[in-house]
Amino acid sequence: MFHSARHIRAHPQLLLLALMIFFQGSAYGSTLPYLSITAIRHLGMSDQAYSVLVFVTSVSAVMISVSLGILSDLIGDRRRIMIAMALMGVIGYGAIFLFPSIPVFIAATAFVIPSSSLSVH
């Protein structure tokens, strides 16, 4: 474990990426509790439906993560993928803000937002 920390400290690019992953994870983690408030209180989704959505989102995040890893290895240019996934985050959160409905919330939360939260990894 400490070998990894020394390696990251020795390479400024890796340190920058590690900090980006930390801040992105912190931002995603701090907004995650508000997704349930938005879904249940403001949009009227049932507790059971939200539970199913969380399960589907978890499965989707794993599938998207593996797929993006394979795609980035095939393409080689990770910048394009990172830009596309960052735009997916803008589209996902923007869609929830602009079109507050249960179908939009489900689509954005289950498929679009997980892809954007994995963009730096």
Which residue, 100, 108, 26, 117, is CA-closest to 64? Answer: 117
Q: How confident is the model at residue 7 (pLDDT cuts 50, 70, 90)?
A: confident
82: nearest Cα among 67, 97, 92, 72? 72
pTM over 0.75: no
> Residue 7: CB partners within 8 Å, gap ≥ 6?
14
Structural domain containing residue 73: 32-120
Higher-confidence residue of 42 and 20: namely 42
Count of domains forming the chain: 1
Q: How far apart are alpha carbons 100 and 12 in whole angstroms?
A: 41
What amino acid occupies position 34? Answer: Y
66 is a domain residue:
yes
Assess if residue 81 is contained within a domain.
yes
Percent of the chain past pLDDT 70, that is, above it, reads 94
Report pLDDT for 107: 94
| Pairwise pLDDT comparison (103 vs 79), residue with the higher score | 103
Q: What is the pLDDT of residue 120?
A: 44
71 within domain boundaries? yes
Comparing CA positions, the residue from 6, 81, 63 lying closest to residue 55 is: 63
Predicted pLDDT of residue 47: 92
Residue 6 resides in a domain: no
Is residue 5 pLDDT above 80, yes or no? no
pLDDT at 116 > cutoff 80: no
Is 40 a member of any domain?
yes
2 lies in some domain: no
pLDDT for the residue numbered 27: 78
Listed in sequence order, the DSSP H helices in the chain are 2-10, 12-36, 47-75, 78-98, 102-107, 113-117
Q: Is the pLDDT of residue 2 over 60?
A: yes
